[in-house]
Amino acid sequence: MKQFVSSPDKNSNNLSGFSLVEAVLALGIFMLIAAVLVGALAYAVQSVQVAGANSRAMLLAEEGLEAARSLRDTSYSSLTAGTYGLTAAGVWALSGTSDNNGIFNRHLDVADSGSYTKIITSTVSYNTGLGTSTFSLTTQLTNWQRTIAALGGLLLYGDGTTSTKYRAYNTTLNNFGTEAAITANASGNTFVVRTSPLNQEAIAGFVTAAGVLNVLCYDGSWHQEWTTTVGGTGTTRRFDIAYETATGDALVLFSNNVGGSSSQLGYRTKAGNTGCGSANWSVNTNYSVLRTTGVIQWIKMAWDRRAGQNLIAAQWADANAGLSAMIWSGSSWGNEPSAVSDANLDFVTAAQDVDDFDLEYESVSGDLMMIWGTTVAANINGVRYRACTGGTATCTWGATSTPATFADDSVNLDLSANPNSDEMIFASIGTNQSDLQVGYWNGSAWTNSANTDTSAQIPVAGSELVATGWLISGATTRAIVVYNDSGTTGINYRQYNPTGNTWAPTNGSNPTVFVPAPVFANPQKHYQITTNPLSKDQLMFCTSDNASDLFCKRLVMNATPTFTWTNSDGAAIELSLPQSINSPYSFAWWRN
């Protein structure tokens, strides 16, 4: 009989061995997953902590700027240049060089940017375990209390000495301060001063009798910036100054005193975030105009008032009686019209002996209007205009046009834009007749009146015997025209109501007259009106007269409207201007 001997089940032993390995492997995988989960959780916690620290740092930096604003409003003089920490015991105060809040260390850096502006940087440093991080915020603070309460504007002029003079105008007191000399080794015949839209800063320029342009900067004190030769003897104005509205960058455009086909103009710029100082200006850049070839004699610029815009328009006249224009985009010049706008600009006795063109931006649309006088015979409409529409640097130029109704030549003229709308007001006086004519632009069309006054003073070479402006008080808006009526020694003016399309006094009747103290010598020689951008119910009117005296008078309108003139000067501001024609002074209101 066969016997069977049993042996161990090989399959059974193999199964038992695999189960043990699998268990070990499973345990390892579990531990790995657990480690990953723990690491991810730790990273998530750390990320939340870092994000929280970043947010906290940003809040502390913002708090630093708010503290600086509070210090500025309480005591501007406490913000002296340096690095500080902060304490808050009821009120903010500067203390030490930094302050701590847990893991956060904060310091404020205070830097001067002119006499009335500070650059504040609030920096927070902190360590979350991943290394040190920093967060910074910067702002610019202006001594607004001094700006608004004490300062209204600046007036520059010459007195025949070797130093240009200036006076500060105080809006609250309605007077001009004591005359002071600007530290410079020359004095000018023609003047321009413009104020920054962002900073307590002004750029001024004057041309000497030797044809040298001197550029100055004011930040509480005057600084000589640079000079260049523009030619002439002060009988024409071969430069202008403007600020970009959005950036506050300053731009000076000037004649290079050369004719031909290239480099007739030059310009220099200064960034709005820099202060006074010659090192802050760009180098001179030449520009070749396309439509005129004579030496450029007269230059005017206008800036786009719209917030966020940096457009500036320039208009010029050359020795050949040619007129053209171009647009500054914020970085370069361009968009000169495809043809010269006029080749026969009007004059008194010889070409280019008078300024007879002007330009303005509409305040809402940003469309550009330029207007001028062309040579015509007696009793012929000599006014011409041209618009560039679209509100951009590449605006579209319209054709040269003749507005209806006017009946006379236009030798002395002025154009002003309503600061709140697209309206404009225009007035001119010719040499063929002693007639004043006025016009109103509603944003799309002209409404004009000829022979508004038939006894206006006839212009002479270099004169400017008419000026325009706007006054706004609540819901009441009026345009103002001031002009030299023949034989009078006071201020002759008319006011226009755009709502009712009416002039007061009515056309053809005698003007309203304010009798100043003292009275002006007759005839007057150069008129200027500037509306206060911070209080649009008031304007400043300045004039030079036949005795080389300088006067400035303020006009205020209330909502009634009632018009009130005052002798802001108290007496003649200057009795010996170096000349009485061609911008022998310049006044500008502060804009912030």
Whether 9 is covered by a domain: the verdict is: no
Whether 473 is in a domain gets the answer: no
Same domain, 264 and 306: yes
CATH number at residue 504: 2.130.10
Cα(513)–Cα(393) distance, rounded to whole angstroms? 42
pLDDT tops 50 at residue 10: no
pLDDT at 89: 79
Among residues 132, 79, 129, 83, the alpha carbon closest in space to that of 107 is found at 83
Residue 188 lies in a domain: yes
The dihedral through the CA atoms of 311, 312, 313, 314 has a sign that is negative
Six-digit token string for 170: 């105080």
- Mean pLDDT value across residues 371-385: 96
* Residue of 118, 88, 81 lying closest to 106 (CA atoms): 88
What is the domain range of residue 421? 148-464+495-513+572-589
Are 270 and 341 within one domain?
yes
Amino acid present at 488: T
Those residues whose C-beta lies under 8 Å from the C-beta of residue 470, and which sit 6 or more positions away, are 416, 417, 418, 419, 425, 477, 478, 479, 480, 531, 536, 539
316 and 284 part of one domain = yes
311 with 273, same domain? yes
Is 544 domain-assigned? no
Residue 12, pLDDT score: 44
pLDDT classification of 148: cutoffs 50, 70, 90? very low
Residue 295 lies in a domain: yes
- 187 and 134 fall within a common domain: no
* The domain boundary residue, chosen from 73, 107, 142: 142
pLDDT score for 145: 61
Which of 385, 443, 439, 360 is CA-nearest to residue 407? Answer: 439
Kindly state the helix (H) or strand (E) to which residue 56 belongs, with its residue range.
Answer: helix 10-74
User: Of 97, 119, 142, at which residue does a domain stop?
Assistant: 142
Output the pTM of the full model: 0.79
**What does the pLDDT read at residue 45?**
57
396 is written with which tokens? 């579209």
Range with the poorest average pLDDT among 53-62, 72-81, 215-224, 341-350: 72-81
Residue 381 lies in a domain: yes
For the cut 50, the answer to whether the pLDDT of residue 398 exceeds it is yes
Higher pLDDT, 34 or 81: 81
Helices and strands, counts by H and E, the chain: 2, 40
Q: Model confidence over 160-205: pLDDT tens digits?
A: 888 899 999 999 999 999 999 997 678 899 999 999 999 889 999 9
Q: Is residue 152 part of a domain?
A: yes
* Average pLDDT across the chain, whole number: 91
Q: Are 325 and 313 in contact (CB under 8 A)?
A: yes
Pair (184, 220) in one structural domain: yes
Q: Pick from 95, 114, 142: which residue ends a domain?
A: 142
Instruction: Compute the average pLDDT of residues 146-154.
Output: 67
Judge whether 545 lies within some domain: no
Report the pLDDT value the prediction gives residue 40, as an integer from 0 to 100: 58
Tokens for 204, please give them: 């001024």
Label residue 234 by pLDDT band (50, 70, 90).
confident
